[in-house]
Structure 1
């Protein structure tokens, strides 16, 4: 007598960060690129988590397996990747705060643990940023290059999780895309003004520290 196959796990792939602050957009850019290149089984959800913090709790609680992309400051070489798994992820994010969004997401993970609805498997793919303080800027070349290694590892893991990744057969529509059309990486890079014209650096008379 044949036994029925176990149901496929509910898989959530989450990109965390802010596209408008240079390398902090790493996580969201990874999810965007993953969706542009691959299609997945119906049990997989790709989400631009942005800086939503506690609003992401339901996505974490509903996932059996959770894969997270994020920019993580751990005093590594810019562009270096670090992989953290399962119960170590909330602890890791609490070691050194990169930004307010990271504080909020650490709280999401800890709350999911407290409620007893924490994913069975968690993988954080973190990248050391090079530069953050560039409002309206984009990924630095070394961080953008690191996306390839991050995506390769993500696809490998997703295959073992039965996400069934396969090369995308048809282009995404604007309605399907995880990021808004005007924020898509190539368009964002092509249309954004220079640092000088956009005044992204700020006024040093205001930003300078008082002695």
Structure 2
């Protein structure tokens, strides 16, 4: 993330003023390169296929295909591209659904440009990011962490699962074998009485266990 190798960002929002304003602001940061703008999800996908952005900054309310539906299209065709939602909506439903579909972060449109850049930096390096207003919503129903019936290691594995990592990725991040990760995954599901990975992700979100910058894997 420097001037030699800037973070390539694609902006997708059906409001021209938002697009123009965001582009102008982000282009003042030397380590950010706006590789394209689009007013529709499919148009954004076409641009992304030729520019291969590291991060797609996308609104939710768009005609034809909304931002949440578009997340899956981007993830299917450009699995290495990270999706960061930029929305005026701070409802738990929008936030949780975005993450369930594969978004790496969710920030509100009233945050500062510096925070938008921080979010781009975070998701570009494989972390998750939620702006303070979003974090407040996620924490509304947070259960006390010490009441969670998981070991410290299982807790770490759960956070990495919620961030969309595979067993192999988790194994590399935690310095354990993929077989051990799978054992932890099964134990977590059993303890929480949850049968699917999507269910584990939803649990982590609804209990406020997904932090702004994601789990520390270093």
Check whether TM > 0.5: no
More helix per residue: 2
Q: Whose RCO is larger (CA < 8 A, sep 6+)?
A: 1
TM-score range normalised by the length of the shorter chain: 0.3 to 0.5
Q: TM-score, normalised by structure 2?
A: 0.35
